[in-house]
Amino acid sequence: MKLVIIGGVAGGAASAARARRLSEDAEIILFERGEYISFANCGLPYCVGGEIKNRSMLLVATPQLFRQRFRIDVRLKSLVTSINRERKTVSVTGPDGGAYEESYDKLIISTGAEPARPPIPGIDSPQILSLRTIPDMDRIIEAIEKKNARKALVIGGGFIGLEMVENLKRRGLEVAVIEMLDQVMPPFDHEMAALIRNELENNNIAVWLNERVNAFEDTGGGVRVALQSGRTIDVDFVLLATGVVPEGELAGKSGLRMGIRGSIVVDDRMKTSDPDIYAVGDAVQVFRFADGSSTLIPLAGPAAKEARVAVNTIFGIDTRFRGVQGSSICRVFGITAACTGLNEKTLRSLAQPYGKVYVHPANHAGYYPGAYQMTLKVLYNKNTGVVLGAQCIGPDGIDKRIDVISMAIQAKMTIRDLSEAELCYAPPFGSSKDPVNFAGYVAVNDEDGVMPLTHWDQLDERNPDDFILLDTRTSMEYNGGHAPGAVNIPVDAIRNRLDELEPYRDREILIYCATGVRSHVAGCILKHHGFRAANISGGYRTYCQFHPKACTGETKIQELQESFCGTPRQ
Ligand code: FAD
């Protein structure tokens, strides 16, 4: 067996190593057009920021190791220029510029995805940088260290964009971010992303949403960015993080079946439309675990799993790829944001009947030092209770909850399973009722009619004469900010003040507190006294996620933007 692999980083290197583990006899050739194989592109932002101090730490495995331990023929600076399917060869331009053909029995394509470069006038300026490779990282570090950059604009508020915002700020730069959508971090729902934006602004990062770049102008050592809103911003460099595009060109030119945005179509064994060619990683079109629909998920975890499936299949082990959930995580200054499965935007577009809950429990027992509230949103099928997705944001314990729910989704578990999951507990680590259980309890209480739930975003659709809003927090909390029109009766006073609610017996009483816990108690009391009550999921904290301007004011946002635009370049 002669196995040829194109691309030597996540999917390609994993394929090569797995292939050798499965076969001592196979001839394995790995072509990589760059100078490095198997480097940690996920670590690049943290090396820019200086958290990873030694750049050699990014080289997870060297070509020498691949040659010695795995007897893999690694060919660096070798660009595969075409795949000749009839002859079963690839054409390669080697390090010296010479071209040759190499034959294969089986071919694996893992060419990845390249940073998108939208066709904006001036985008070819050398001050407009992006981050995918070690040389890209070196150019950014050079801009900071040798060119003494002070001010950078990140275009794109996704994972890589925000990781870079944090790390550029860590290097002492003044940083701002421009995002064309109405939220940062598109995999999250809008109201969850509001928490991330809030954290950026708390760290003095100016954020523009619903904003686009019209043009870049090279100012000789810097770049002037003209925004659609008419504003111009002078910065030392721009970090372009507007998403990635699958590198499927080689495959496309060879006539393989292509999918979304130039990606390569594969089956669940990672086989392309040619039975001798497999493809893995960011270059392929994958299917969602939850509903089987096609999508692109440029993440390292799926790339590694796909590589294993492809190589297993080539060497006769029956394995199938289960599909992607998009489980992902990002640190943004003091918070972590993680998600898995389908979000509400997608569920709405699929017209699926779904339920949702918001809870704000602590990462661990509240009495143990270092307890912080998190926000956990869980989405589930309204008819079956099967968990479909989750998003979690907070200072600590976020990965644990999303990973637990990710497994629940894979196992097709329901909200009842979440409520019953037995998770480890001692005060420094969790609570006897873990946030995952807690989300399950709230959803099950709704399903069982113990305490119906409603949501802030559903109120606009309702006739205001059909309900009243009841705020069950203390009067001090209420006076610090409340939902418009809400009546305040603190939970501990409610039994003595039921007469105040008598005039509303014909209406539904929609109750909230800070997070949904006290209002649940109040709702139970009201129900036992014959009122129609529902708990507004997530309470006032969630209200503020839906109405961030009402809760935090717009002044700070504008101040940050003005300050970023106004600071003269040094
Ligand atoms: P790549 O790792 O990009 O490898 C493709 C390789 O193929 C490249 O080295 C390229 O030079 C080579 N190549 C392409 N065409 C040819 C050709 N014609 N001939 C020869 N060689 C060729 N994912 C996560 O899950 N978590 C993270 O935290 C995370 N952080 C990231 C941070 C950054 C800055 C970046 C850039 C990515 C991050 N990712 C993260 C995404 C993750 O790195 C990718 O999903 C993963 O690397 C994809 O693997 P791949 O093999 O498909 O492509």
Extract the runs of DSSP E, i.e. beta strands, from 73-150. Answer: 73-75, 79-84, 89-93, 99-103, 106-109, 113-115, 128-129
Pick the catalytic residue: 42, 524, 551, 565? 42
Question: For residues 497 and 501, what is the distance between their CA atoms, to the nearest angstrom?
Answer: 8
Range in 87-101, 517-531, 551-565 the model is least confident about: 551-565
Question: For residues 542 and 371, what is the distance between their CA atoms, to the nearest angstrom?
Answer: 19
pLDDT of amino acid 220: 87
Q: What is the mean pLDDT of the chain?
A: 96
Tens digit of pLDDT for each residue in 326-361?
Answer: 999 999 999 999 999 999 999 999 998 999 999 999
Burial of 511 (0-12, 13-18, 19+ CB in 10 A): buried
pLDDT of amino acid 140: 97
For ligand 1, mutation pick of 6, 31, 55, 111 (most atoms within 8 Å of CB): 111
Phi, psi for 512 (deg, rounded to 5): -140, 160
pLDDT of amino acid 567: 54
Quick check: CB of 298 below 6 Å from ligand 1?
yes
> Looking at the predicted structure, is the pLDDT value of residue 491 above 60?
yes
Quick check: CB of 419 below 6 Å from ligand 1?
no
Question: Which tokens go with 317?
Answer: 């082990």
Extract the runs of DSSP E, i.e. beta strands, from 19-138. Answer: 27-31, 73-75, 79-84, 89-93, 99-103, 106-109, 113-115, 128-129
pLDDT of amino acid 556: 81
Tens digit of pLDDT for each residue in 37-74?
Answer: 989 999 999 999 999 999 899 998 899 999 999 999 99
What size, in residues, is the chain? 570
> Looking at the predicted structure, is the pLDDT value of residue 554 above 80?
no
Is residue 42 among the annotated active site residues? yes
483-506 core/surface letters (b: 16 or more CB in 10 A; e: else): beebebbbbeebeeeeeebeeeee
* Atom 31 in ligand 1: residue holding the nearest Cα: 42
Q: How far is the CA of 246 from the centre of ligand 1 (A)?
A: 10
> Looking at the predicted structure, is the pLDDT value of residue 566 above 90?
no
Quick check: CB of 79 below 6 Å from ligand 1?
yes
Quick check: CB of 36 below 6 Å from ligand 1?
no
Quick check: CB of 32 below 6 Å from ligand 1?
yes
User: Cβ–Cβ contacts within 10 Å for residue 464, how many?
Assistant: 11
Q: How far is the CA of 21 from the centre of ligand 1 (A)?
A: 23
Quick check: CB of 34 below 6 Å from ligand 1?
yes
Quick check: CB of 111 below 6 Å from ligand 1?
yes
Mean pLDDT of 296-312: 97
Quick check: CB of 299 below 6 Å from ligand 1?
yes
Q: How far is the CA of 303 from the centre of ligand 1 (A)?
A: 9
Q: How far is the CA of 305 from the centre of ligand 1 (A)?
A: 14
Tens digit of pLDDT for each residue in 278-299?
Answer: 999 999 999 999 889 999 999 9
112 CA: nearest ligand 1 atom: 53
Burial of 39 (0-12, 13-18, 19+ CB in 10 A): buried
- Residues linked to residue 258 through DSSP beta bridges, in sequence order: 264
CA 30 to chain CA mean position, Å: 30
Mean pLDDT of 473-499: 97
Q: How far is the CA of 263 from the centre of ligand 1 (A)?
A: 14
> Looking at the predicted structure, is the pLDDT value of residue 181 above 60?
yes
Question: Do residues 285 and 294 make contact, with C-beta atoms less than 8 angstroms apart?
Answer: yes
Mean pLDDT of 163-177: 97
Q: What residues have CB less than 8 Å from 166, skipping those under 6 apart?
A: 45, 49, 203, 331, 332, 333
- Residues linked to residue 287 through DSSP beta bridges, in sequence order: 294
Range in 58-62, 352-356, 415-419, 516-520 the model is least confident about: 58-62
Question: Do residues 387 and 408 make contact, with C-beta atoms less than 8 angstroms apart?
Answer: yes
> Looking at the predicted structure, is the pLDDT value of residue 309 above 70?
yes
pLDDT of amino acid 550: 82
Question: Which tokens go with 119?
Answer: 């066709």
Tens digit of pLDDT for each residue in 188-225?
Answer: 999 999 999 999 999 999 999 999 999 999 998 899 99
- % of the chain residues with pLDDT over 90: 94
User: Quick one: which of 85, 443, 81 has its CA closest to 254?
Assistant: 85
20: left (phi over 0), alpha (psi -120 to 50) or beta: alpha
3-state secondary structure of 398: helix
7 CA: nearest ligand 1 atom: 7
- % of the chain residues with pLDDT over 70: 99
Question: For residues 246 and 254, what is the distance between their CA atoms, to the nearest angstrom?
Answer: 16
Split at pLDDT 50, 70, 90, the class of 570 is: very low
Question: Which tokens go with 490?
Answer: 């603190």
Provide the whole-model pTM: 0.96
Split at pLDDT 50, 70, 90, the class of 364 is: very high
pLDDT of amino acid 468: 97
